[in-house]
Structure 1
Amino acid sequence: MSESSGEKTEQPTQKKLDDARKKGQVAKSQDLVSAALLVGSMGIVFLLTGNFIGGQIVGLTQKSIQQAATFRGELDMATAGDVLLEGLTTLALTLAPLFLVVFILAALVGYIQVGALFSTEALKPDMNRLNPFTAFQQKFFKSRTYIEFAKTILKLVIATGIASYTILGSRHMLPSLARVSPAETSQFILAQIVELGLAVAICFVALGALDFFLQKFLHIQDLKMTKQEVKEEWKEQEGDPHIKAERRALHMELLNEASAQAVRESDVVLVNPTHVAVALRYDRKTMQAPQITAKGADLIAAQIRKVAQEAGVPIKRDVALARALYELEVNSEIPENLYEAIAIVLRWAYTVAETHPRS
């Protein structure tokens, strides 16, 4: 039913994920980057209210006022330009390290999310972007649009709530501001701004972290495939000479390591059913417990199944047990907690072997 309707029910393959990454399509939370920028900005404001940075700016302001007072109306354009340039240079040198830290912080958050990624796909011209109908569809008929709208409303509500709480919490101090100096009033206002900004930033960082996991989920949902797409991709890889060469190399590796003979001598092969295969053998006279004689995933698992079928080794599908055994090493004995499950499998295998003897 899902195949005929083209319903995308299958998880994206690694190739689909890699192709999307090459196009710059990755799971990334811009909210988390924005939250990092907000934290950095609040850090700058906090430092501006501190002794060193604040003192630098206050000193710059006082120096500018003193220089302006010495000219007494004789200030020409050239001198004014020199004074302005000196002031801007001092201000830039004072603030540049702070903004550099903020930039590095934002870049680091982006790197942690997606790693090293550079793609020019987004820069290539796309005529669909110029189509107003297509743009309208993308904006108003995609679930992401409504999710982003809901996130914006949530952030607005949180910021408003924190601002209201901060203002109401300090309202008893407002009358006393009329009796203090302007400098103290400014200091109080800056302290409130920093407190408010840091509270909002912390909340936004938490929301950004949640948004990152949401973006990963939506990214996977966007890349989901139909069963037909998975089959077509597999067929394409089947015809890929590189894939064929890799498969032949894996098959040769399996045969050269004498694993094929170990499979033929096994009592049973457990599969999950397509990705993992584990061969087991148990000799009561020489073994204390059943042993894993061979195991493999994907292409090697397919080869193990093929060898087992040709040799008449019973093959049993047991997803959980096959995965549990695959975690063990070849030639290792199975753990005691799996004895009962393996005993059932071996009894079944011995029954099959009696009714269908190997050639």
Structure 2
Amino acid sequence: MSEEDDSSKTEEPTGKRLEKAREEGNVPISQEIKSLLMLIGGLTAIGMFAPKVAGDIRRTLTPFLARPHELPTDFNGLRDLISGTLLDVGLALLFPISVLIGLAVLSVYLQVGFVYSPKRIAPSLSKLNIIKGLQQFFSPKRLVEVLKSLAKLALIGGALWLVVWPRLDWLLQLPGMETEAMLMKTRVLILILVATIVGVMLAVSAADMFWVRYQNHKKLKMTKQEVKDEHKQAEGDPQVKSRIRAIRMERLRKRMMAAVPSADVVITNPTHFAVALRYKVDEMAAPKVVAKGADLIAKKIREIAEEHEVPMVENPPLARALYASVEVDQFIPPEHYKPVAEVISYVMRLKKKSR
């Protein structure tokens, strides 16, 4: 049944489906990238802060290990000592643990950005369903995760073996070396091993990221019927219709304002209506309306026309008629040929006189 459902999902997920999935916290997050960042951060933190943390813990535990005879024997004294010790150890480990938590959060942010999903973290009785939990534990997805983990361990083990095997001879000679030489070679080997593990983890993380994103995209794909239903729902939403209408009107207004400078004449009411016409004798069968508007839009058309020295002619009956009967980017109908021709002729005569 699941395979049939997957085979019927042939359509790419819509923006609405992707947005809904994000709101529900259904985003592709690679756990391997999180592990890689935490490994690098952990190793860096150990290299930078291990001596200080170890020193703080050693000083805190010294009374227990070096001077046990000086420990208090009464209840209050022991309570204060233990609580103080736990506090000191917790403070010593606070920064390294904070670094690891921060890296885990950073790994999620780098992959999918900021995602806030109340539904994901909200308490739910379904999460306590033992049967459902067992089904998920023995699901094919869980099996794939186990196989991925085994493959990762095999890759890391194989890579480490390739590093250690050529150096096996001098590894066996380490016990007979001087202390300084032994420590130096051991340090070099540890660095090589760490670099090898990080390199393998980097390759595994890259592959896992592509796999997780592919699986998530595949899961969000839609059937043809789902796409149709979503379109119907969107078209029936009054808010969506209103928003679409507003966007179309705004685009039309911008297109009209951009076309006014190329008009040959603007016919006005003079204040309530304005209709911009363009007419190229060799290219057009009739004059075309490139912009029209009432009130504020008419005022804007007149301002742009004046700015670009487009002739304006006051003809209230013609302006009202063209505004009511002709849409933008349409040619004027035959019944308006004569009055429009008279206006254009008048404008052409004015242009000749100005020359």
Give the TM-score normalised by structure 2.
0.59
- In structure 1, distance between residues paired with 2:53 and 2:127: 52
CA contact (8 A) 2:234 2:240 kept: yes
Measured after TM superposition, the shift of residue 308 of structure 1 is: 10
Corresponding residue SS for 1:28: coil
Q: Which residue of 1 aligns with 2:270?
A: none
Measured after TM superposition, the shift of residue 7 of structure 1 is: 1.0
Q: Which residue of 2 aligns with 1:221?
A: 218
Measured after TM superposition, the shift of residue 217 of structure 1 is: 1.6
- Note if 1:76 corresponds to 2:72: yes
Farther off after superposition, 101-110 or 247-256: 247-256
Corresponding residue SS for 2:9: coil
Of 215, 238, 241, 1:241 maps to 238
Return 5+ residue gaps in structure 1 as ranges. 263-282, 287-292, 294-306, 312-359
Measured after TM superposition, the shift of residue 242 of structure 1 is: 1.0
Q: Which residue of 2 aligns with 1:196?
A: 193
Counterpart residue type for residue 120 of structure 1 = P
Measured after TM superposition, the shift of residue 250 of structure 1 is: 2.5
- In structure 2, distance between residues paired with 1:165 and 1:253: 66
> Judging changes above 3 Å, is the alpha-carbon distance between structure 1 residues 241 and 60 closer, same or farther for their aligned structure 2 residues?
closer
Measured after TM superposition, the shift of residue 199 of structure 1 is: 2.5
Q: Which residue of 2 aligns with 1:39?
A: 40
Measured after TM superposition, the shift of residue 216 of structure 1 is: 1.7
Mapping 1:12-161, distance limit 5 Å = 12-47=13-48, 53-54=50-51, 57-58=54-55, 61=58, 65=62, 69=66, 73-77=69-73, 89-122=87-120, 123-125=122-124, 127=126, 130=129, 132=131, 136=135, 139-141=138-140, 144-161=141-158
CA contact (8 A) 1:39 1:202 kept: no
Measured after TM superposition, the shift of residue 177 of structure 1 is: 2.6
CA contact (8 A) 2:60 2:89 kept: no
How many residues align? The count is 266
Farther off after superposition, 83-92 or 198-207: 83-92
Counterpart residue type for residue 71 of structure 2 = L
Corresponding residue SS for 1:12: coil
Compare relative contact order (CA 8 Å, sep 6+) and give the higher one, 1 or 2: 1
> Judging changes above 3 Å, is the alpha-carbon distance between structure 1 residues 22 and 215 closer, same or farther for their aligned structure 2 residues?
same
CA shift digits 1:22-77 (9 cap, x unpaired):
111011111111111111122233336xxxx4266257537855885456x35334
- In structure 2, distance between residues paired with 1:37 and 1:5: 35
- Note if 1:168 corresponds to 2:169: no
Q: Which residue of 2 aligns with 1:8?
A: 9
Q: Which residue of 2 aligns with 1:274?
A: none
CA RMSD of aligned residues (A): 4.5
Measured after TM superposition, the shift of residue 189 of structure 1 is: 6.2
Counterpart residue type for residue 124 of structure 2 = P
- In structure 1, distance between residues paired with 2:250 and 2:142: 50
CA contact (8 A) 2:10 2:221 kept: yes
Farther off after superposition, 25-34 or 163-172: 163-172
The percentage of aligned residue pairs carrying the same residue is 26
Corresponding residue SS for 1:132: helix
Measured after TM superposition, the shift of residue 127 of structure 1 is: 4.2
Farther off after superposition, 242-251 or 81-90: 81-90
Measured after TM superposition, the shift of residue 188 of structure 1 is: 7.0
**Structure with the greater alpha carbon radius of gyration:** 2
- In structure 1, distance between residues paired with 2:167 and 2:86: 36
Corresponding residue SS for 2:43: helix
> Judging changes above 3 Å, is the alpha-carbon distance between structure 1 residues 157 and 130 closer, same or farther for their aligned structure 2 residues?
same
Counterpart residue type for residue 36 of structure 2 = A
Counterpart residue type for residue 215 of structure 1 = V
Q: Which residue of 2 aligns with 1:278?
A: none
CA shift digits 1:238-264 (9 cap, x unpaired):
1111111012212322443455997xx
Give the TM-score normalised by structure 1.
0.58
Measured after TM superposition, the shift of residue 121 of structure 1 is: 2.1
Measured after TM superposition, the shift of residue 120 of structure 1 is: 2.7
- In structure 2, distance between residues paired with 1:18 and 1:164: 46
> Judging changes above 3 Å, is the alpha-carbon distance between structure 1 residues 42 and 149 closer, same or farther for their aligned structure 2 residues?
same
CA contact (8 A) 2:23 2:117 kept: yes
> Judging changes above 3 Å, is the alpha-carbon distance between structure 1 residues 134 and 86 closer, same or farther for their aligned structure 2 residues?
closer
- In structure 2, distance between residues paired with 1:22 and 1:220: 16
- In structure 1, distance between residues paired with 2:91 and 2:44: 17
Counterpart residue type for residue 46 of structure 2 = V
Measured after TM superposition, the shift of residue 168 of structure 1 is: 3.1
Return 5+ residue gaps in structure 2 as ranges. 260-279, 284-289, 291-326, 332-355
Q: Which residue of 2 aligns with 1:206?
A: 203
- In structure 2, distance between residues paired with 1:114 and 1:241: 32
Measured after TM superposition, the shift of residue 173 of structure 1 is: 3.2
